[in-house]
């Protein structure tokens, strides 16, 4: 009797689970890291007394992103955002051609002018921020929303 109930439940649920729309999968061989699932974000600029970006960032959970963080060397500046960095999976950080694959990041700091590229997948929905430590006001704060 239990087997019959289980079999009936599985048969009833199978149409809902079937992918019968005939579409090709939206991801390539690289899965969520495929080019069809990735976006390049506007760069973040670290400069003394200047805004980090023109507008807040809106990301979609499950999408792969690349962003450049550029420091102009006007001052030794860091970027703090443990909440954001913990809400993403970092594929790699590239600094002057050196690829780093970290298990986690809380902050980054530029002692001089340079560029860093971060490739990541947005995971945990929420509102986060990246900011320059000890900066006054919202000028050097970037709000990031993952939907």
pLDDT tens-digit profile of 97-136?
999 999 989 999 999 999 999 999 999 999 999 999 988 8
Question: How many whole angstroms separate alpha carbon 122 and alpha carbon 27?
Answer: 16
Quick check: is 12 in a domain? no
- Residue 15, pLDDT > 50, answer no
Quick check: is 132 in a domain? yes
The residue among 17 and 110 whose pLDDT is bigger is: 110
> What pTM does this model have?
0.77
Quick check: is 99 in a domain? yes
* Domains in the chain, number: 1
CB 132 within 8 A of CB 124: no
Quick check: is 78 in a domain? yes
- By DSSP bridging, strand 141-146 and strand 57-59 are parallel
Residue-wise pLDDT for 41-96, tens only, equals 999 999 998 999 999 999 999 999 999 999 999 999 999 999 999 999 999 999 99
| CB neighbour list of residue 144: distance below 8 Å, 6 or more residues apart | 56, 57, 59, 81, 84, 127, 128, 129, 130
Quick check: is 48 in a domain? yes
Q: Which of 137, 130, 121 is nearest to 30 (CA)?
A: 121
- Residue 16, pLDDT > 80, answer no
- Domain residues for the domain of 50 are 28-146
According to the model, what pLDDT value does residue 128 have?
A: 97
Quick check: is 1 in a domain? no
Question: How many whole angstroms separate alpha carbon 139 and alpha carbon 144?
Answer: 14
Question: How many whole angstroms separate alpha carbon 107 and alpha carbon 86?
Answer: 11
> HEC profile for 59-103?
ECCCCEEEEEEEECCCCCEEEECHHHHHCEEEEEEEECCEEECCC
CATH number at residue 127: 2.60.40.420
Quick check: is 15 in a domain? no
The residue among 19 and 4 whose pLDDT is bigger is: 4
Question: How many whole angstroms separate alpha carbon 25 and alpha carbon 137?
Answer: 45
């Amino acid at each position: 009797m239990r087997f019959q109930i289980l079999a009936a439940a599985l048969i009833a649920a199978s149409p809902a689970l079937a992918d019968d729309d005939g579409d090709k999968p939206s991801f390539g061989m690289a899965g969520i890291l495929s080019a069809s699932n990735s976006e390049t974000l506007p760069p973040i600029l670290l400069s003394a007394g200047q805004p980090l970006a023109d507008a807040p960032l809106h990301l979609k959970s499950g999408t792969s992103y690349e962003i450049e963080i550029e420091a102009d060397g006007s001052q030794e500046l860091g970027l703090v955002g443990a909440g954001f960095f913990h809400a993403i999976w970092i594929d790699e950080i590239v600094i002057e051609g050196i690829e780093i694959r970290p298990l986690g990041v809380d902050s980054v700091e530029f002692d001089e002018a340079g560029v860093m590229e971060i490739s990541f997948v947005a995971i945990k929905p929420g509102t986060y921020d990246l900011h320059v430590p000890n900066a006054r006001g919202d000028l050097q704060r970037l709000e990031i929303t993952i939907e």
